[in-house]
Amino acid sequence: MRVEERVRELLNRMTLAEKIGQMCQVTGGTEEHKDLVRQGRVGSILNVSESEAPDRARVSNDFQAAAVKESRLGVPLIIGRDVIHGFRTVMPIPLGQAASFDMPLVEEAAAVAAREASACGINWTFAPMVDVARDPRWGRIAEGGGEDPLLTSRLGAAMVRGFQGPDPAHPERIAACAKHYVGYGAAEGGRDYNTTWIPEGLLRDVYLPSFKACVDAGALTLMSAFNDLNGIPATGNPWALRQVLKTEWGFGGFVVSDWASVEEMIPHGLCSDKPEAARAAVAAGVDMEMVSACFSEHLVQLVEAGRVPMELIDDAVGRILGVKFQLGLFDSPYTEEARSNVLLTDGHLDVAKRLATESCVLLKNDEALPLPGDMGSLAVIGPLADAPVDQLGCWTMDGRGEDTVTPLQALREALRGRCDVRHAPGLPDCRSTDTAGFAEARRVAGDCDAAVLFLGEDAGLSGEAHCRAFLDLPGAQEELVAALADVGRPVIAIVMTGRPLTLTGIVEHVNALLVAWHPGTMGGPALADLLLGVSSPSGKLPVSFPRTIGQVPVYYAHKNTGRPAPPGKEGVPVGTPLDPESFFSTYLDMHHSPLFPFGYGLSYGAASYSNLKLSGPALSMGETLEVAVTVTNDSAVAIEEVVQLYVRDPVASLTRPVKELKDFMRVPLAPGESRKVSFALGTEHLAFHNGDGQRIVEPGVFHVMVGGSSQDVLKAEFTVTD
Ligand code: GLC
């Protein structure tokens, strides 16, 4: 029988209470919850167990048995967990994965996470998080793909494919959940859960595309967000959920609320009480309530009173049952407990190391890297040189510090017998202002041939509800850099972080600067390979790095304004007479550009771009232009270059950004190799949404730009004709 038929047949046998039970999700594997499962009053559990692997699968199977064998209709549970960037093998944070621009590898990493999580009885992850974020104060910028809709879309789609595979019923696959729908990353002030005001055209051009990409990739579920979206919380927003997601896009899976976001519509001020919150959420298109109990306590009465149509309940439950059938839970509800030995296999750790290596972004290198092979001694300094838990980053519910290989450990291993690796933390932790350790750090650095500083944020400074009003290196870390600046040795700074930081205070005092994000379990071996030249850095920034917090928001796809700042424009000397001719969109006290732009990243080689060629000067609607460029590795080092394609519509019925990423490609280049790289640019890539929400392409002149960052590009023009 087809899934639809099996769903209908089962729905017809369910009581109203059993239907509503499917719409309720609880957290924690308690006996009370197991009883609710037996009564058919729970359809899903998250965080069912925190125990060791083999036991974990057994606990999950226990709860599944309560559903399958002891409830009246035997409907299996869907068992969820936040498997955000790895399960026990922790991958780089998603923002770091985005920096790799390597979507096949991102997909492979998600498949590893699914293989490990499924072995522990989990069949649903609350990932990928695909909230575009342009405010680095927001702690959850760590969890997504950064500031660009295309990169975030491709990251999300790759993760959906990795989690679900070609057949989500496969025992090693799990259901994905694109979150947080929608606009959550636009929180005012970069403060989590805060208000968002996003015009429909901007929603459709910037914040919705990554969710559409996940739906198109087959995501079985979405999660509604916490934020107030234009006056109606996303969890009670029928325009977003019913009109766009379920009607326009034809999404056939189900929507789960975020943690108590249904009940939170009361403090939001949309709903007066829990019955109203339940009604509003179901009416808007939320199918399952996470953790709060508005559905379980009030939906039966609301339906019986005619305030919630039975059709909406049947639609919601039909969606939930449909996903459970697609996951194969009715046919194979249990996890094979013997499989739990798949955790932390060499193959999984290799994926984690490769992705950590490719996610690192080299921002400065005064020929200090790679470190020379004949070094006699190396100083390893800083609070994150040997911080196994912080290195994993935020949202690592199942990652363990004991599994982490830190940079200090990896460098000692790699240099054993040929270089003396000396360690001085300098600071007790990332946020400490206790400079008592500086003297030892200076001495160790001065005694060695080079010093590598591991700086940045501890894991607790990023993630949900962990927003910052300042973006500087925390504590006395900048002072630590300054304290080493005059030791007369090359100083290399490695920054582990969950967000862009304002590195203005250290960039001039170090010989090399590399951002490693929070690189995960294998961050140490990845960084050792990069520092020692076994690998060349290849990552590019998925988000702009501001010079100062005062610039935020600062992102590459900005509008031109009527008075765009000339490149060199900065400030006015004291006594300068007012001159309207010099009035531009700049600051008096800081250059308006970011310190490091979106798409920027160096390697140990040097890629140059030439021969930008278009297949023709014009194309009509529906046609495709070939954009070709030659990329050359002008060095003796093998590199991988992320070639980026941007477009600008300089004149349109709504003003358009100065550039928008439309494609990218990782290109391996042997020493001295030149390669022709081609992109297919169709008129559909030039579309934008007008104020009425229509997706349109307007004829006219367009600029096309290709390069190794958003700021360093070759340009050409073409025309679109009617
Ligand atoms: C949290 C997060 C969401 C997560 C969920 C379950 O509050 O907002 O991303 O998946 O609750 O832990």
Beta-carbon contacts of 648 under 8 Å, excluding residues fewer than 6 positions away, are 656, 657, 658, 659, 660, 702, 703, 705
pLDDT at residue 1 tops 90: no
The protein residue with its alpha carbon nearest to ligand 1, atom 1, reads: 259
Omega before 566 cis (within 30°)?
A: no
Closest atom of ligand 1 to CA, residue 177: 10
Lowest mean per-residue pLDDT among 55-59, 648-652, 662-666: 55-59
pLDDT at site 570: 75
Task: State the average pLDDT over residues 506-512.
Answer: 98
Between the alpha carbon of residue 437 and those of residues 308, 424, 444, 454, the distances in Å are 64, 8, 11, 15
Residue nearest to atom 12 of ligand 1 (CA): 82
CA distance 86 to 159: 11
Query: How confident is residue 112, by pLDDT bands cut at 50, 70 and 90?
Result: very high
Whether residue 370 has a cis bond before it, omega within 30° of 0: yes
Ligand 1 close to Cβ of residue 179 (< 6 A) = yes
Distance CA 641, CA 643 (A): 6
Where residue 573 falls among pLDDT bands split at 50, 70, 90? Answer: confident
517 lines ligand 1 (CB under 6 A): no
Would the CB of 259 count as within 6 Å of ligand 1? Answer: yes
Residue 143 Cα: closest atom of ligand 1? 9
Q: 574: which residues sit within 8 A by CB, 6+ positions away?
A: none
CA atoms of 708 and 149, how far apart (whole Å): 18
* Predicted local confidence at residue 581, as pLDDT: 84
Give the pLDDT confidence score for residue 569 in this predicted structure. Answer: 73
Distance, CA 541 to ligand 1 centroid (Å)?
Answer: 26
* Tokens representing residue 338 in the block: 């013997």
CA dist 238 and 229 (Å) reads 11
Q: Is 90 exceeded by the pLDDT of residue 580?
A: no
Cα separation, 81 vs 113, in Å, equals: 11
Whole-number pLDDT of residue 567: 80
The preferred substitution site among 45, 48, 82, 93 for testing ligand 1, maximizing ligand atoms within 8 Å of CB, is 82
In the prediction, which pLDDT does 50 show? 85
Rounded-to-integer distance, Cα 566 and Cα 564, Å: 6
- Angle at 505 (CA atoms; ends 449, 495), nearest 5 degrees: 60
pLDDT at residue number 341: 84
Return the closest-CA partner of residue 520 out of 341, 382, 411, 400.
Answer: 400
Q: Which tens digits make up the pLDDT trace of 152-186? A: 999 999 999 999 999 999 999 999 999 999 999 99
Average pLDDT over residues 487-501: 97
432: Cβ contacts below 8 Å, ≥ 6 apart: 383, 475, 476
C-alpha of residue 481 to centroid of ligand 1, in Å: 37
Contact partners, residue 338, CB within 8 Å, separation at least 6: none
Residue 258 annotated among the catalytic residues of the structure: yes
Q: Is 36 helix (H, G, I), strand (E, B) or coil?
A: helix
For 189-293, where are the alpha helices, taking DSSP H only?
Answer: 200-202, 209-216, 238, 265-268, 274-284
CA of 258 to the centre of ligand 1 (A): 6
Six-digit token string for 621: 């609607």
Asked if 394 and 456 count as a contact pair (C-beta separation under 8 A), the reply is no
pLDDT at residue number 571? 74
Predicted confidence (pLDDT) per residue in 371-422, tens digit: 999 999 999 999 999 999 999 999 999 999 999 999 999 999 999 999 999 9
Residue with tokens 């630590």: 480
Domains of the chain: 3-340 (3.20.20.300), 360-531 (3.40.50.1700), 607-721 (2.60.40.10)
339-379 tens-digit pLDDT:
878 999 999 999 999 999 999 999 999 999 999 999 999 99
Q: Which of 426, 467, 457, 465 is nearest to 443 (CA)?
A: 426
Which contiguous run of DSSP H or E holds residue 445?
helix 438-447
Q: Name which residue sits closest to atom 11 of ligand 1, judged by CA.
A: 259
pLDDT of residue 247: 98
Residue 424: strand pairing partners: 381
Q: What is the pLDDT of residue 65?
A: 98
Tokens for 582, please give them.
């010099």
Residue 82 CA: nearest ligand 1 atom is 10
Peptide bond into 267 cis (omega under 30): no
- pLDDT tier at 456, thresholds 50, 70, 90: very high
pLDDT at 679: 98
pTM of this prediction exceeds 0.85: yes
Distances 249 to 238, 252, 253, 440, 684 between C-alpha atoms, Å? 14, 9, 11, 61, 17
Q: What is the distance between the alpha carbons of residues 269 and 707, in angstroms, rounded to a whole number?
A: 48
Q: Do β-strands 512-515 and 713-721 pair in parallel, antiparallel, or remain unpaired?
A: unpaired
Report pLDDT for 181.
Answer: 98
Nearest CA to 602 out of 354, 370, 355 is that of 370
Q: What is the pLDDT of residue 337?
A: 87
Closest CA to 710 of 635, 631, 598: 598
Amino acid at residue number 355: L
- What is the reported pLDDT for 644? 98
The residues, ordered by sequence, that sit 6+ positions from 51 with a Cβ below 8 Å of its Cβ are 59
The amino acid at residue 174 is: I
Q: What is the pLDDT of residues 673-690, one digit of tens each?
A: 999 999 999 999 999 998
Sheet of strand 177-181, all strands in order from the earlier edge strand to the far edge = 177-181, 221-224, 254-256
What pLDDT is stored for residue 693 in this prediction? 85
Q: What is the DSSP letter of 577?
A: P
Share of the chain above pLDDT 70, in %: 100
User: Which of 270, 298, 304 has its CA nearest to residue 284?
Assistant: 270
The two tokens of residue 108 are: 């492979």
| pLDDT, position 707 | 98
Q: What is the mean pLDDT of the chain?
A: 97
List of residues 6+ apart from 23 with CB closer than 8 A: 43, 287, 288, 289, 295, 299, 313, 316, 317, 320
Ligand 1 in contact with 420 (CB < 6 A)? no
Q: Tell how far the Cα of 463 is from the centroid of ligand 1, in angstroms.
A: 10
Contacts of 446 (CB under 8 A, 6+ apart): 487, 488, 489
Residue of 101, 97, 102 whose CA lies nearest to 84? 97
Secondary structure (3-state) at 252: coil
Substitution site in 223, 258, 289, 397 for ligand 1 pocket (most atoms within 8 Å of beta carbon): 258
pLDDT class of 267 with cuts at 50, 70, 90: very high
Regarding beta strands 24-27 and 44-46, do their DSSP bridges make them parallel or antiparallel, or are they unpaired? parallel
Residue 354 C-alpha to ligand 1 middle, in angstroms? 28
Q: Band of the pLDDT at 200, cuts 50, 70, 90?
A: very high
Separation of alpha carbons 204 and 451, rounded Å? 48
| 54 has pLDDT over 80 | no
Separation of CA 411 from chain center: 28
Say which of 131, 135, 205, 258 is annotated catalytic. Answer: 258
